[in-house]
Structures are given as structure tokens and as C-alpha cells.
Chain A
Amino acid sequence: RKEVEQDPGPFNVPEGATVAFNCTYSNSASQSFFWYRQDCRKEPKLLMSVYSSGNEDGRFTAQLNRASQYISLLIRDSKLSDSATYLCVVNTNAGKSTFGDGTTLTVKP
């Protein structure tokens, strides 16, 4: 079983739709959690950190459930520019970052 597992996708949604991505992790010692965005053939970039209390950044909301070892990302009012691959990342305190395989989102007009 992989340490970090994501929805396989792909997700194809119309503009304006709400879409949610899920991620589970197996290492209960994991300390910090992130969502990164990766555009085609480019380097990943931080989208947002994920906190236990949940956090929001504009149209994006991230949630963490430590008991279930589950992370989610909700995107509201999808834009064409949201089309990308979204990577769930889990870190241990020793600094090791483990990436999920990513979920690809395509937003269509």
C-alpha cells in the first residue's frame, strides 16, 4: 500500500463547478500536510498548507482529519486556469516529504 493515496481521477468539470479531491495517508507520525499544484511539465508549486482546523484561501478549502488520516481539497467556482494536477504531500518531522500520485483536473468552458 502506498504511503499517500489520492483519487485517481481524472476529473473533467465545467467552469463554475465545485470539485473535491481526497487523499489518505498511512503514517500516523505524519506532522504536516500540503496541497501542491503542478502544471504540465513544470515544477510543483505550493497551493496551500492544510491545518487540523481546516483552512480556506479564496475558492480553495483544505481539511485534515487526523483520526481518519484523511486530507481533502475543495475547489469552488472552478476556472479554466484551475486545470492542473493536484498533489497531496505529507511530511514527517524528520523532513521526509511523501507525494501522492496526483489528481488531474480539467476545467472545460
Chain B
Amino acid sequence: NAGVTQTPKFQVLKTGQSMTLQCAQDMNHEYMSWYRQDPGMGLRLIHYSVGAGITDQGEVPNGYNVSRSTTEDFPLRLLSAAPSQTSVYFCASSYSTRANVLTFGAGSRLTVL
């Protein structure tokens, strides 16, 4: 049982490049979400999904897109990377929105030059 798997673990981009952070869970969780964490700060919600085909914006959605075509996968796309998007990104999932104990991936550290 792998839990929540994020790839890549590290990535360096140039301003204006696009990329996709991958997130997959094998626990049949309904709910998946993406957070970013900047130094000395808590986690801020970017986008979340309560089930396949359903996504919604969190606190800081600008510059990011998501889709949820399957229960297992929830990729995060950076459309045109900016230095302000340098951060650590965490994907998290939970069984349902009501029992929302989150299981996190190990994180993806992104640097935008």
C-alpha cells in the first residue's frame, strides 16, 4: 500500500515554463487536495476535489490548474511558472469530506528561477 505518491520530488524551472506535479493515491479516497507551503508558514490550499470529475478552488488557485479524471489521480499544472511559485507542494487525500483526516504525500520542492 503506497499511500499518496507525489512526483517529482525536486524540480527547477525557468520563468514561463509549464509543468505538471503528479499525485496518485491507492486508498480509494474520495477527497484529494493540493497545498503549498512557503518558509515559516502553514499550508495554503490551492485546489481540491471531492470526487472524480469535481474540482474546486482553494485559497490560492491563481496560476494553477487541476483535473480529476479518475479517483486515483489529481495532477497539478503550473501554466506559466513564476518565481512566486517557488515553494514546497503537498498533495493530500482523505476517505471522505466528512472524515477529513488527511494523508499527505512526501512533497515536491519546486524552484522557479
Binding site for B on A (CB under 8 A): 4, 6, 31-32, 34, 36, 41-46, 49, 87, 89, 91, 93-102
Contacts and interface: CB of A to CB of B under 8 A. Distances in A.
A44 B104 contact: yes
B50 interface: yes
A102 B105 contact: no
Contacts of B97: 93-95
B45 A101 contact: no
B42 A99 contact: yes
Contact of A91 (B42, B90, B100, B107): B100
Contacts of A41: 88, 107
A32 B31 CA distance: 15
B43 A87 contact: yes
Nearest to A87: B42
Given A6-B42, A43-B105, 5 more contacts: A41-B88, A49-B101, A89-B102, A95-B48, A96-B45
B40 interface: yes
Given A43-B90, A44-B90, A97 B42 contact: no
B33 A97 contact: yes
Given A42-B107, A95-B31, A32 B41 contact: no
B78 interface: no
B30 to A, nearest CB: 9
Interface string B83-104: 0000010101010111011101
A54 to B, nearest CB: 19
Nearest to B32: A95
Contact of B107 (A43, A97, A102): A43
B104 to A, nearest CB: 4
B101 A34 contact: yes
B13 interface: no
B42 A101 contact: yes
